[in-house]
Structure 1
Amino acid sequence: MIEDITRNKCELVEDFYLVFQPIFKICPAGSPKIVDYEILLRAADHRFPKDRFQNIIKNEKQNGIFLTWFAEEVVELALRFPQKRFDINIEPQQLFYQSTWDFFSKLSLYSDQFIIEITERAPLYFEYSSKNAIILESSLSKIKSLGYKVALDDVGSGQNSLGEVVKNYQNIDRLKFSMVCFNNMDDQLELNFLKSWIKLSKEYELEIVVEGIETKEMSGKLLEDSCYCLQQGFYWQVPEGVDSLG
C-alpha cells in the first residue's frame, strides 16, 4: 500500500520543481525592496504545466498527492528562510477538497510566512450540482482564521470581480492586477482602469500588486502617475530557482 502511494506520487509530480519571482515595494525615493516571493510551479520544459495541473485537480485523490509533495517543499522553504514570505497559488477548484484544507492546517505553523493567493479561474470539476456551490466568502474567512494573509489574483477577470472584492474585502489583504491581461488596450485607458483599482484598494486598506511589469518605462509610468504600489514582473526579475533566495 505504501509502495503504491509512493509510486503514484512520483508519477504525478515527476519533473515538477519550483521557481520564485520577487514582489517589490516601489517608492518615489529610495531603492526598491523585496517584500515577498511568488512560488511558481514548473516542469521539464521550464513552463507552468497547465494541462497536467488541471488534470491533477480534477479529483480529491490526485489533489491530495500533489499537495503532499508541495507541502514538503514549502515547509522546507519556511525552515530554510524563516525571514522571507512566500505567495502560494490555490485554484478555487481545490477549495472543494478536504486535502486542501489539510494542507492549510499542516502549513499553519508557518502561516505568518505565507500569503494564500486565490486565482481567478472558476472551478471546472466538482461533485456539486452548481458552480454556485462554492462559497468564496466562507473559504476566505476560513483561510484567514488559520492565520494566513489572503490575496485575490488577476482582479477584474474571471470570478475575482469587483463585486467579489467588495463583498469579501474584510477577508482580503491584497489584490493583484495583471498588466498582461490588458496588452491590447490603449495605455492611458489601461492606466485609468488600474487607477480605479488602486483607489478601491486604498479605500478598503488593501495592498495592491501590479504584475506583468516588463519594461522600465512601464514601471516608471506608474510612479509618474502616483500609482504607488507593489510591482512584479520580468523587468524586475524573471522567476528563478531556490538559490536566488540567498
Structure 2
Amino acid sequence: MRIRCVAIDDEPLALELVKEYVSRFPELTLIQVFDDAILGKDFLIEQDIDLLFVDINMPDITGLELVAGLEKKPMVIFTTAHRKFALEGFELDAIDYLLKPIDFERFSKAIRKAIDYFGFRTKPVTQNQEYIFVRSEYRMVKIDLKTIEYIEGLEDYIKIHLTDVPHPVLTLLSLKGILEQLPAGQFSRIHRSYIVSDTKVKSILKKNVLLQSGVTLPVSNTYQDFIDKWQPD
C-alpha cells in the first residue's frame, strides 16, 4: 500500500524540493501541494491522507496550529528554517522535524521512519514484532524491542530503559498502555511500577529480579505469578 502525501509550505522552492525528494520513494504518492495554508487545511479536512509535510512558520496560520486543528491527524513531518520552532511544546505526534535547507539524507531518514511507523500502526501486535514507536521529545521514536531492558512507571510518564543508550526514553504513557503494544510472552509486569524484558532477567532471589545489567527490581505480591513461572516444576 502506498502512502498518500500532501505538502504545505508558503515557499514555492521548498515545495519543489519536497516534490523532487518524494518522487525518489516508490512507497510515497504526493497527492497535492499547497502554498496557502488555509486551502491546505480545507483539503485535509475533506480528504484522507497518510503523511503531511508542513512548514511551521507560515502567514495566516502556523503549521503547528494547522495540525492541532485537525480532528483526524495524519502522520506529520514538520519543516522549519528556525531551530527554535522544533522545540515548541505541542503534543502533535510528529514523526520528525526537518530543518531547512533540507538535505536528502536527512529527508530520507525521516521518510524511512514514517514508512516503518505506517507499517507498525496498520498491523496488529504479533510475536514477530521487532519494534514499537513512542512519542518522546516532540517526535515519534522507534525502539528496537531487543534493546528494552525494563520500563519504569512514573506518575504520568514512563521511562524505557535501553541497553544501547545511556539515558532512558521518556514518554507520556502508562505501563498498561505500553504493555498493550508489546508482544505477549516477551515482557512481564512485575510491579505497579515496573515491566521487564524476560530475556534480560539474569536471576530471581526471593522477591527481587536481577537483570543482566546488574539492576535489581522488586516483585510485588500482585505479580507473584512472574516468580512462579521461573520456578522449576
TM-score for both structures, normalised by structure 1? 0.29
- Larger Cα Rg: Structure 1 or Structure 2? 2
- Structure with the larger strand share: 2
- Structure with the larger helix share: 1
TM-score for both structures, normalised by structure 2? 0.31
